[in-house]
């Protein structure tokens, strides 16, 4: 082995890029920041219309109300707000979040909850609670980048269950469960985002939810139900939560990030009691307790402000943005590009024709002053090269058309290039595989 190289399993890594490499725990060695992260720094420039970050429109909040809520916490309860608290989170907040869950029709008791630093910490604690190296998790493909990170950083293997416009294809999940059983293995849990999924924008149909619950009983499976977006619904269709159907088999994750503000970093887990107790111990090892200050700001928000109206206001903002983006996609995208039609929340999932790679295209897109997230980030197995996530929640309505038009122009030019290079052998202008964008939209 030449000097400066280290062999870690099959992987050969130059030690001079990181002289500490051999000292790291195995779970950390394979972690690296993607090149895409560097591009996103450029995408944050004001001239770029960014459909990249999944950020809520915090400008739609009544800032005077937020200011008075925060000021009141310090003025009236400063000593408590600035003190340590309990590992499970404040009972007052847990009672209020149970109300938020009831507002969405999800049954819950305040004692079932553990407050976390956003839904992301919940996903990490759950992964640490259940996963040993090499364990298998079954998750929608595509799925939330941070969910993949929580599972793979705990050295689990994520296998994807394909989706279509009705969410996870539960009949394929069943096949995968049976295949695993033939191998003498079993998934530790199924990770699903059933409502207005990140990144696909689609929701799991009601019959599939029932079937998923049945499969959980039949095959003795746990389900992690991640639900940041359920309340941001454009359609009025109500779906049962999986927790409602099989409460003893579900670890449910909620967050106030998308219904209030991500800056307060407040999420929660609702779990059967023995699991809840393990999660509290894990969270105490990680950070002792959630911040009393931000918990009390959320409490004050939920008790003194019309939070249901605020959610309606957010939803209206996102519905308008979604409509503008869908209209722009229909007028600007070349033939062969497909996309999902979201029933709520933030995301549209784009599938481009063969021959175009959305990771390769990103640098050009940013040069044209538009950004998106390439599809590969949403799969643990490297697929998704012909897909991309467009997030419409953050850019001003007035800039959405401009951004889509820039992307459309770029895709037209790329397709011309593919045709010029391949001539009669041009790859067929169709998606490479069935997926949530198949056949929908423009
Ligand atoms: C599906 C999903 N789960 C969890 C999270 C975590 O959000 P937070 O940690 O802000 O609650 C996000 C954030 O975008 C998400 O999209």
Which residue ranges form the domains of the chain, and what is each CATH number?
A: 32-60+310-422 (3.90.1150.10), 63-304 (3.40.640.10)
The residues, ordered by sequence, that sit 6+ positions from 78 with a Cβ below 8 Å of its Cβ are: none
What gap in Å lies between CA 189 and CA 128, rounded to an integer?
A: 12
Let me know: does 193 contact 230? Beta carbons within 8 Å: no
Residue 431 has pLDDT above 70, yes or no: no
435 CB within 6 A, ligand 1: no
CA 134 to ligand 1 centroid distance, Å: 25
Among 55, 122, 144, 393, say which to mutate for ligand 1: greatest number of ligand atoms within 8 Å of CB: 144
56 CB within 6 A, ligand 1: no
Residue 437 has pLDDT above 70, yes or no: no
Q: Give pLDDT, residue 430.
A: 47
Q: Give pLDDT, residue 423.
A: 73
Among 57, 118, 122, 266, say which to mutate for ligand 1: greatest number of ligand atoms within 8 Å of CB: 118
What element of type H or E holds 138? strand 136-141
Q: Taking residues 266-294, what's their average pLDDT?
A: 98
Give the residue whose CA is nearest to atom 4 of ligand 1.
119
Q: Which atom of ligand 1 is nearest to the CA of 54?
A: 14
Residue 275 has pLDDT above 80, yes or no: yes
The residues, ordered by sequence, that sit 6+ positions from 125 with a Cβ below 8 Å of its Cβ are: 114, 116, 269, 279, 282, 283, 286
CA 92 to ligand 1 centroid distance, Å: 23
CA 151 to ligand 1 centroid distance, Å: 14
Please report, for residues 53, 60, 73, 312, 371, the alpha-carbon distance to residue 46 in angstroms, rounded to integers and kept in the order given: 14, 19, 34, 28, 12
Q: Give pLDDT, residue 3.
A: 46
User: pLDDT-based confidence at 4, cuts 50/70/90?
Assistant: very low
Please report, for residues 32, 139, 348, 389, the alpha-carbon distance to residue 340 in angstroms, rounded to integers and kept in the order given: 31, 19, 6, 10
pLDDT tens digits, one per residue of 173-224 = 999 999 999 999 999 999 999 999 999 999 999 999 999 999 999 999 999 9
120 CB within 6 A, ligand 1: yes
Let me know: does 27 contact 154? Beta carbons within 8 Å: yes
CA 79 to ligand 1 centroid distance, Å: 30
pLDDT tens digits, one per residue of 393-419 = 999 999 999 999 999 999 999 999 888
The answer to whether the Cα torsion of 310, 56, 201, 349 is positive or negative is positive
Give the residue whose CA is nearest to atom 16 of ligand 1.
198
Residue 161's φ and ψ, nearest 5 degrees, are: -100, 120
Q: Taking residues 274-294, what's their average pLDDT?
A: 97
Q: Give pLDDT, residue 29.
A: 82
User: pLDDT-based confidence at 42, cuts 50/70/90?
Assistant: confident
Q: Name the nearest CA neighbour of 135 among 156, 153, 161, 158.
A: 156
Count of other CB atoms within 10 angstroms of residue 32: 10
198 CB within 6 A, ligand 1: yes
Q: What percent of the chain has pLDDT over 70?
A: 91
Q: Which atom of ligand 1 is nearest to the CA of 262?
A: 10
Q: Taking residues 149-175, what's their average pLDDT?
A: 96
201 CB within 6 A, ligand 1: no
User: pLDDT-based confidence at 426, cuts 50/70/90?
Assistant: low
CA 228 to ligand 1 centroid distance, Å: 6
User: pLDDT-based confidence at 38, cuts 50/70/90?
Assistant: confident
Q: What percent of the chain has pLDDT over 90?
A: 83
393 CB within 6 A, ligand 1: no
Q: Which atom of ligand 1 is nearest to the CA of 267?
A: 11
Q: Give pLDDT, residue 69.
A: 97
The residues, ordered by sequence, that sit 6+ positions from 106 with a Cβ below 8 Å of its Cβ are: 227, 241, 243, 244, 252, 270
Mean of the per-residue pLDDT values for the chain? 91
Q: Taking residues 9-38, what's their average pLDDT?
A: 74
Residue 359 has pLDDT above 70, yes or no: yes
Q: Give pLDDT, residue 441.
A: 28
pLDDT tens digits, one per residue of 48-65 = 999 998 999 999 999 999
Q: Taking residues 156-181, what's their average pLDDT?
A: 97
Q: Give pLDDT, residue 429.
A: 52
pLDDT tens digits, one per residue of 243-266 = 999 999 999 999 999 999 999 999
359 CB within 6 A, ligand 1: no
* In 208-278, beta strands by DSSP E: 223-226, 250-255, 267-270
CA 63 to ligand 1 centroid distance, Å: 23
pLDDT tens digits, one per residue of 226-248 = 999 999 999 998 899 999 999 99
392 CB within 6 A, ligand 1: no
Count of other CB atoms within 10 angstroms of residue 435: 24
Tokens of 82: 């600035």
User: pLDDT-based confidence at 9, cuts 50/70/90?
Assistant: very low
pLDDT tens digits, one per residue of 125-148 = 999 999 999 999 999 999 999 999
118 CB within 6 A, ligand 1: yes
227 CB within 6 A, ligand 1: no
């Amino acid at each position: 082995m030449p000097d400066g190289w280290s062999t870690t399993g099959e992987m050969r890594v130059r030690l001079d890029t990181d002289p500490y490499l051999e000292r790291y725990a195995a779970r950390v060695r394979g972690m690296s920041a993607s090149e895409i992260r560097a591009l996103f720094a450029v995408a944050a420039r004001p001239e770029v219309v960014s459909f990249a970050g999944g950020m809520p429109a915090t400008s739609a909040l009544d800032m005077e109300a937020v200011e008075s809520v925060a000021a009141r916490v310090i003025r009236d309860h400063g000593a408590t707000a600035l003190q340590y608290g309990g590992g499970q989170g404040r009972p007052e907040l847990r009672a209020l979040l149970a109300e938020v869950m009831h507002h969405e029709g999800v049954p819950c008791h305040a004692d079932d909850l553990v407050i976390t630093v956003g839904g992301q910490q919940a996903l990490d604690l759950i992964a640490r609670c259940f996963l040993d190296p090499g364990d298998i998790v079954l998750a929608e493909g595509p799925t939330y980048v941070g969910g993949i990170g929580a599972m793979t950083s705990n050295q689990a293997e994520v296998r994807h269950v394909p989706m279509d416009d009705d969410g996870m294809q539960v009949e394929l999940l069943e096949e995968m469960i049976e295949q695993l059983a033939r191998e003498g293995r079993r998934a530790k849990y199924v990770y699903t985002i059933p409502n207005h999924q990140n990144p696909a924008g689609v929701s799991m149909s009601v019959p599939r939810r029932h079937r998923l619950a049945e499969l959980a009983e039949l095959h003795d499976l746990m389900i992690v139900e991640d639900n940041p977006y359920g309340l941001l619904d454009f359609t009025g269709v109500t779906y049962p939560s999986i927790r409602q159907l099989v409460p003893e088999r579900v670890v449910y994750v909620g967050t106030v990030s998308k219904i209030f503000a991500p800056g307060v970093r407040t999420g929660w887990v609702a779990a059967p009691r023995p699991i809840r107790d393990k999660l509290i111990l894990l969270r105490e090892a990680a950070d002792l307790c959630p911040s009393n200050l931000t918990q009390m700001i959320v409490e004050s928000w939920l008790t003194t402000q019309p939070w249901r109206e605020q959610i309606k206001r957010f939803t209206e903002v996102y519905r308008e943005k979604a409509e503008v983006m869908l209209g722009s996609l229909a007028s600007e995208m070349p033939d062969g590009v497909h996309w999902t039609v979201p029933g709520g929340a933030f995301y549209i999932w784009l599938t481009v024709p063969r021959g175009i790679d959305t990771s390769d295209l990103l640098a050009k897109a940013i040069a044209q002053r538009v950004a998106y997230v390439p599809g590969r980030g949403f799969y643990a197995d490297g697929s998704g090269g012909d897909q991309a996530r467009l997030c419409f929640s953050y850019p001003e309505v007035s800039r959405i058309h401009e951004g889509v038009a820039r992307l459309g122009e770029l895709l037209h030019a790329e397709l011309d290039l593919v045709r010029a290079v391949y001539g009669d052998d041009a790859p067929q202008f169709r998606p490479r595989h069935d997926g949530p964008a198949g056949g929908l939209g423009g």
